[in-house]
Structure 1
C-alpha cells in the first residue's frame, strides 16, 4: 500500500463517478493551453507552435502566430481570451521566444486580435531576459484578476540558481501587469533599484497552473517541485515562496537539495505533493453540473496521467481523487462557459466530463 503523503491524504478512486468522458477534439499532440470564445468555439495551443481554432467541429490553424522556439519544454504555451473578448477581441498567450538579448530563448507574453483565421495587432507585453539555452522551466500560465491586471508565471529556467531569489533577474516569478502591458504603479518592487518591476512575487520554481479563486479573488498557483515538493501557493504581494532555499523535495538523483523546509520571511505552501504528480493546468469546480464537487480544485498530473481533484476544508486538503485516469498526460483543465470540465490530454486531444442522468 502506498504511503500517505506527509501533507495530506493518498490519492484514491472517486466516491462519485456518475459521468462519462467524451472526446470533443481528437488527434492533438501536446495541447498545452485551451480557452473558449463567446460563440462557444475554442482556441487550443499545440506546444510545437500551432494555435488552432475549433468551431462547429472544424479546426483551423491560425496564421500570424509569432515565431516559437519549440524545443525541450518550450513552445507555444498558454492561451486565454480576455474576459471582455466580445467587446475588445484580445487573446493573450505565452510562448518561448528567441527575440531579445542572449542565445537561446525565454518566456514571452503577447496579445493579439483574431480576424478570420489570422492573428493581427500583435503586441509583446513582456519578454523574459536574457535568453537561456536551458530547455526547461518556461512556466507559463496567464489569468485576469478582474481589476484590470493580468498575472502570469515564468519558470526559473533552470540555468541559474539565483534566478528565483533575485528580483533583478527574470525567472521563478509571478508577474503582474496592466492588461495593456504597463507596470502598475503599486507593484511591490516599483522604485527598487535594478528590480524587474513587473514582478509580484518570487521564489518560485516552475508554475504551470494558475487561477483566480472565485470566492476570495486571490491568485493561486501550483508549481513543479524537483523530486517531490510540488506546491500550491496563494500569492501575496511581494512575498518570497522560498525556492530553492526551502523545499519539500529532493534532487532527481535522490541527493539532498536543501535541509530546510521553513525559513523566516518565506511563505509556506497551502499544500505540497510527495511524491510529485508534475502538476499542469488548474481549475476550480464552480458548476452545478457537479454538485458533489463544487469548490474542489482540479489539477492535471503529467507524471501519473490523471486529473486530480482535491477537496478542501478551509485551507486544508482533506481528500484527493482521480477523475480522468489512464487517457494520457493531462496538460490543461478549464471550466467551459457551459459549466462542463474540459481537459487537454497529450496524444489524444480535448475531452469533456459529462455527468450522467
Structure 2
C-alpha cells in the first residue's frame, strides 16, 4: 500500500486504501461519507485527516476540484479514479466531509499523540530518546564513527547529525525531483567506508523530454569529505523513465558478498514493468558491484536481452530491505495495494508475482487478480491485511532488548507505529504494535552501538530506542 503518493489535491498524498479486504459493492450501499473516507481515503490521508495538514493544494481546494480528483483520478500522481466505485452523490458527500474536516486542523493533529516518551511493551519498557529534529521526511539513516549519523530528507536535503544533536547540511547531493514520492531517499555506507569514505544515495533522477518531466530511480556513489560530497557518479539509472511520481522503491543494502542490493518500484505501471526483465529495470531487486558493474553470477547475465543487474523481479514497491544476521539472505518488505503488503526473502532469479498474484485489491475496490498463488511464483513469508504501509526493515541483534533478538522490525506509514514480528524460522508467529501514533515510521535501523533507531515523519525526527529494564 502507498502511504505518500503525490495525488489527489495535495502533493505527497493520495486518497485510497481502506481498512478491510471487503466487497466494494456492499460498501457502496453505505452513503455515509465518514465510512467512505475510512474505507477509501484514510490509508493515505490519515484516519484523522492529519495528512492534509501543512500541505499545499495542488489541483485546487474547492469542492468541484475535489470532486474531479476523486471521480477521475490523477494517474500520473498514482491515484486511481473512483468514479466506478462511488456514485456522484457519494463523491459530493465525501468532498463536503473532507472540506469540513480540514477546517479543524488542531483537532486532527493533536488527538491520540503519545503523552509520554516512555512506552510499555510486552517484554520491556522503552524510552524514545530524541536524537535529531527539524527535518521534513527523514527517509534513510546511516551511522558514522564518533556518535554521528547521516540522514537523508526526501525534500533533497542531506544532513550529518552531530553528537550534540545538531544538523550539519552536506553539499554536493544530486538534484532530485522532490514531487510525489520522489526525492532524496536512502543512504548506505560502503563496506570499506573507514578507508575510502564512499557512500551511496538513492534518489529520483529526472529529465525534460518533449515538454514533460520524466523521472526514475538512480543510485549515486560519492566520497564524503567533511560537510560535502566529492567524486559523485551515478552507478545505476533505472530504465525506462516514467511520467509518474510514485513507486520508486529505493532501499539499499550491502550483502555479505560485498555487493549492493537495492529495490526499484514499478512506477505504477503494473501491467508491464514488474514482469518484464528485458529492457526494464522497474519492479525489481537489483544486485551490482560497488562501482556499478555486474557480478558474474547474477541470475540473468546469460539471458539474451535481459537486464543483467536484476536479481529478482515481480515486485511492486519495496521500501524496506535488510540482511539476515545469520543466513546473510536479503529480506524485503513492500507495499501492496489495498491490502497485501508483503515480507519476502529475495532469491536469485525468482519471480515474486506482482501483479499476477496478490493478496490485495485495487484502491478503488476492484480486483487486481483472482490469484493468490501460481506455479513458478514465490509466496511471501508474510502479508498484511489491512495494509500497514511498511517502510524500513531491520533485524534485532544483540542483547540490549530483552527477548527481541532475531525479531523483525517494520515501520508503518499507514498506522504510525513500529511493528515487531516474532519469527520461528521464516514464519511470523506473532506480532506486536509498538509506539502507536508516534508518527509515520519511515525507517528503522540497528546501529553499531547496539541500539535501534527510527526515523518518523510529522514532524521529521530521529529517535533512539533506550530500554529501561
| Cα offset, 1:317, TM superposition | 0.9
1:23 is matched with which residue?
130
Q: Is the 8 A contact 1:101 1:129 kept in 2?
A: no
**8 Å Cα contact 1:22-1:353 kept in structure 2:** yes
Give the equivalent residue in structure 2 for 1:84. 192
Counterpart position of 1:256: 367
- Map Cα deviations across residues 65-116 of structure 1 (whole Å, 9 max, x no partner): 0110110000000001123211111111100001597841000011111112
Contact 2:20 2:339 in 1 (8 A): no
SS in 1 for 2:123: coil
**2:431 corresponds to 1:320:** yes
2:226 aligned to which of 116, 119, 122: 116
SS of 2:195's partner is helix
1:108 aligns to what SS in structure 2? Answer: strand
Question: Match of 2:403, SS?
Answer: helix
CA distance, structure 2, for counterparts of residue 146 and residue 111 of structure 1: 19
Give the match's secondary structure for 2:194.
helix
Is residue 348 from structure 1 mapped to residue 457 from structure 2 by the alignment?
no
TM-score relative to the length of structure 2: 0.72
* 1:188 counterpart = 2:299: yes
Any residues of structure 2 matched to 1:217-256 within 5 Å, and which?
A: 217-256=328-367
SS in 2 for 1:120: strand
Tell me how far 1:280 sits from its aligned partner. 0.1
Residues 50-61 of structure 1: pairs in structure 2 closer than 5 A: 50-57=157-164, 58-61=166-169
Residue of structure 2 equivalent to 1:34 = 141
Higher relative contact order (CA 8 A, sep 6+): 1
Is the CA contact 1:49–1:70 (under 8 Å) kept in the aligned structure 2?
yes
RMSD: 1.7
* TM-aligned CA deviation for residue 3 of structure 1: 9.2
Deviation sequence 1:323-345 (CA, Å, 0-9, x none): 22212100000011111110000
Runs of 4+ in 1 over 6 A off after TM superposition: none
User: Which residue of the other structure, out of 162, 173, 176, is the alignment partner of 2:284?
Assistant: 173
1:288-347 CA distance string (max 9 Å, x none):
110311100000000000001000112211111122221210000001111111000001
How far is 1:348 from its partner?
Answer: 3.4
Question: In structure 2, how many angstroms separate the alpha carbons of the residues matched to 1:99 and 1:193?
Answer: 29
Distance 1:312 1:32 in 2: 26
Quickly say closer, same or farther: Cα 1:251–1:42, change in 2 above 3 A.
Answer: same
- Matching of residue 75 in structure 1 with residue 183 in structure 2: yes
Matched-pair contact (CA < 8 Å) for 1:100–1:131: no
8 Å Cα contact 2:443/2:455 also seen in 1: yes
**3-state DSSP class of the match of 1:27?**
strand
Matched, 1:65 2:173: yes
- What is the SS of the residue equivalent to 1:87? helix
- The structural deviation recorded for 1:39 is 2.5
CA deviation vs aligned residue, 1:10-35 (integer Å, no higher than 9, x gap): xxx83123111111101221000011
Match of 1:47 in 2: 154
1:191, distance to aligned residue in structure 2 (A): 2.3
Q: Is contact 1:49-1:75 (8 Å) kept?
A: yes
Partners of 1:178 and 1:148 in 2: CA distance: 7
Partner of 1:7: none
In structure 2, distance between residues paired with 1:256 and 1:288: 45
2:206 aligned residue:
98
CA distance in 1, matches of 2:296, 2:208: 25
Which of 114, 129, 146 aligns to 2:256? It is: 146
CA distance in 1, matches of 2:237, 2:186: 15
Q: Which has the higher strand share?
A: 1
Q: Verify the 8 A CA contact 2:341 2:385 in the aligned structure 1.
A: yes
Does the 8 A contact of 1:101 with 1:131 survive in 2? no
State whether residues 141 and 210 of structure 1, in contact with CA within 8 Å, keep that contact through their aligned partners in structure 2: yes
Secondary structure of the residue aligned to 1:299 is: strand
Alpha-carbon spacing, 1:160–1:223, altered in 2? closer, same or farther (3 Å): closer
1:277 maps to which residue?
388
Instruction: Point out the structure with the larger helix share.
Output: 2
